[in-house]
Every structure is written in structure tokens, then in C-alpha cells.
Amino acid sequence: MKISRPIRARIDPAAIRHNYRIAKQYAPNSRAWAVIKANAYGHGQWRAVEALRGEADGFAMLESENAVALREAGVTQPILLLEGIFSARDVRAVVEHRLTTVIHCAEQLELLVRNATFSAPVAVCLKLNTGMNRLGFTAQTLPAALAVLRQLPVDITLMTHFAEADSERGVAWQMERFRAIAGDWEGPVCLGNSAAILRHPEAHGDWVRPGIMLYGASPFAGQSAEELGLQPVMALESALIGVQQLAAGERVGYGGTFTAERPMRIGVVACGYADGYPRHAPTGTPIAVLGRRTRTIGRVSMDMLACDITDIPEAGIGAPVTLWGDGLAGQVPADEVATAAGTISYELFCALAPRVPVSLGGASDVDVR
């Protein structure tokens, strides 16, 4: 069905493949789980899977039912359940469909022991709490867990998650704790997230877990995705559906939060918070119209937002707009939009609303004649 409203998201599968290869270049001695949780960070689980079906060493996600669907669709690579098992049904899925599961607490371990019928070895990632303090075994609880698992036909990998790989504190303190907890462990380990892959080669391990970098955004506040060699995967695009002339002193939008200091031309864009654009994005958030960068003004509404087109006189109704990404109307890095809105690109991507239609292909693939 053709959607009459001009907004759309465009997903570039080639960019996903490119970014996965960048992860592999940074961690050449590691295998890489392509993290596709949260509907591939809003990009579409199946789009990401198809982009990486012949490329990824494995896929990482949360829900066993989604993992089973991948198996039923012919995906043969390893599949990791990042939060582990929650029910006997999950345990059966792990065994029957050869899934790899995280085990992060004694309760999950008991669930596995009580419900698994081992027809073949099961792959387990035993998670250690090295300072994130969300999930994982400690130095006090790990020995008992290992003692149980070593009585079972399981292949064990130790893993942890870094809390500050993207900041000045880095990962050394957690690596030290990991080594202290793991003791004389000589088996495989799964360590690096996107930030660690890109900045901390000593913290890669046998498996890494690229997440946000797969989708062309930077995990670092002070380093752009472009500088890291990453390509944007999602472009959120729309068009102007209205143009207004403002006199000095006139206000724009709900609450009148923006007042024109001079005569201005205002473009109204068919995009609002019901489409997933952040309502809290302030005046000045970057946006592009007809290939030229400008700024949003006033408060974001449910279905519309306003932008300054005073210096783009050729922009009228129907002019293409890029909200973020490498769009037909120019490039606006999602990280810049997120920073202006006081959030992170992860949230922008995951918030994309179901009502926004999605198409495949990069800007260079689209015929604009």
C-alpha cells in the first residue's frame, strides 16, 4: 500500500555489511556476534539478518522465540540469547535449536539443569559481574556455578559487559576484575562491545559483540561515526508540507517557545514525536532541506515540526528533508541530532514508530528524477 504522507525511513543493507566488516577489521582475531536485539536497534531484525546472513559469525538477541524464527528461516550461524533463559520453554528451545545462552545467576543455572534433556552439548556464556552491577556471577558465586556446569555436557565461555569503555575510565579496571574472578580459566571469553572493539584491543576476547556501530553510529561522545569509518544505515526523510512567513516578534508552535528576532521563512515538516522524533529536541537541532543544513525551531509536535528556511529561498512545499542519516536532502548524523536532544542515537533508532514506512537502499540507490 502506498503511503500518502511523505515521511519514510530508508535502511541501507550495504552499510550494515560495511560496518560489520569494520568491526572485524578492528578485532581481526575475534569472532563477532552481530547484535540485533531491539528489532536490530529499530532497523528491523530481518533486514539486519538478511544483510549479514552470509557474513556474520553469529547473531545476538534477547527473545528465544525470535531466535527460533531465525533457525526456522534457515539461519545456521550461532545465535546468542543475551539475557539468557526465563522459562522451561526457553531451555527446550536452546537444546532443540542449538542456541547459545547466557547464564547470569543461580536461578537460571537451576532452570537449565532442571529442564534440559541433553542430546548434544549446549553452548553457555557464563556472565561475570565485573563492575556494571546489573547481571552476572561474582568471585564468591562463580565457583559453585562452574562446579555445576562442569558436570553437564556444555561448552562454556566466560563473558562480561563493559560499563565505561566509551569514557576516560576505560576497561582496565574491569579487565583486572575479570581476571581476578576467572582465576586460572583458560577457555574462551566474550568481551568487547562496540566501544571496546574500537578503542580497547586488549579487551576483545575470542568473541566481540558489535551493537550500535553496526548501525552506523558512534559509541563515543567526542568521535564521529565518519571518523571511525562507519556508514549510516538509517535515514529518516520527509518533506515540507507548509511554509510560513514570520515577522520579527512572532512565535512558532505550541507554547510559543521560539520568537523570531527578524523576518523569517519557516518550513513545516511532516514528522513529529508520533513518528519517533524526540519531542525534547530543542530549537537548533540540525536538519537538512534541499541538501542544505539548517535548524529546527520551536517545539516538536505530534505530527509536525518547524525548521528555518530563511536562507533557503528555493525551498517550498514538497522540498525534501533529512531528519537524520544520509538522506536525499543531505547528511545529518544521527549522533548530532541525539546530542542536540540530550539523548543518544540508540534511542532515536529504537523509537522509530511503526507508522513510518521503511524502504531499502542508500541515497545513491534512489532515482530522484
Q: How many domains does the chain have?
A: 2
> Residue 150 is placed in which grid cell?
562442569
**Gyration radius (Cα) of the chain, Å:** 23
> Residue 230 is placed in which grid cell?
562507519
Q: How many other CB atoms sit within 10 Å of the CB of residue 219?
A: 24
Read off the pLDDT of residues 212-223 as tens digits, 9 standing for 90 and up: 999 999 999 989
Q: Does 171 lie in the same domain as 39?
A: yes
Q: Does 167 lie in the same domain as 244?
A: no
- Domain boundaries, position 158: 13-215
The string of DSSP letters for 172-194 reads HHHHHHHHHHHTT--S-EE---H
Q: Does 270 lie in the same domain as 155?
A: no
Q: Does 186 lie in the same domain as 256?
A: no
pLDDT attached to residue 193: 98
**102, β-bridge pairs:** 125
**31, β-bridge pairs:** 207
pLDDT attached to residue 116: 87
Mean pLDDT of 157-183: 97
Structure confidence at residue 1 as a pLDDT band (50, 70, 90): low
Structure confidence at residue 4 as a pLDDT band (50, 70, 90): confident
- 273 has catalytic annotation: no
> Residue 359 is placed in which grid cell?
524502504
Mean pLDDT of 203-214: 98
Sign of CA dihedral 295, 298, 299, 303: negative
Q: Which of 37, 215, 273, 277 is catalytic?
A: 37
Task: Give yes or no for residue 369 having a pLDDT over 90.
Answer: no
Q: How many other CB atoms sit within 10 Å of the CB of residue 107?
A: 12
Read off the pLDDT of residues 306-330 as tens digits, 9 standing for 90 and up: 999 999 999 999 999 999 999 988 9
Mean pLDDT of 252-281: 97
Q: Does 180 lie in the same domain as 49?
A: yes
Q: How many other CB atoms sit within 10 Å of the CB of residue 123?
A: 19
CATH code for the domain of 48:
3.20.20.10
Residue 230: what are its φ and ψ, rounded to 5°? -90, 150
Q: Does 331 lie in the same domain as 266?
A: yes
Q: Does 345 lie in the same domain as 271?
A: yes
Percent of the chain with pLDDT over 90: 94
pLDDT attached to residue 142: 97
pLDDT attached to residue 368: 36
Read off the pLDDT of residues 14-49 as tens digits, 9 standing for 90 and up: 999 999 999 999 999 999 999 999 999 999 999 999
CATH code for the domain of 316:
2.40.37.10
Q: Does 42 lie in the same domain as 83?
A: yes
Read off the pLDDT of residues 75-123 as tens digits, 9 standing for 90 and up: 999 999 999 999 999 999 999 999 999 999 999 999 999 998 888 899 9
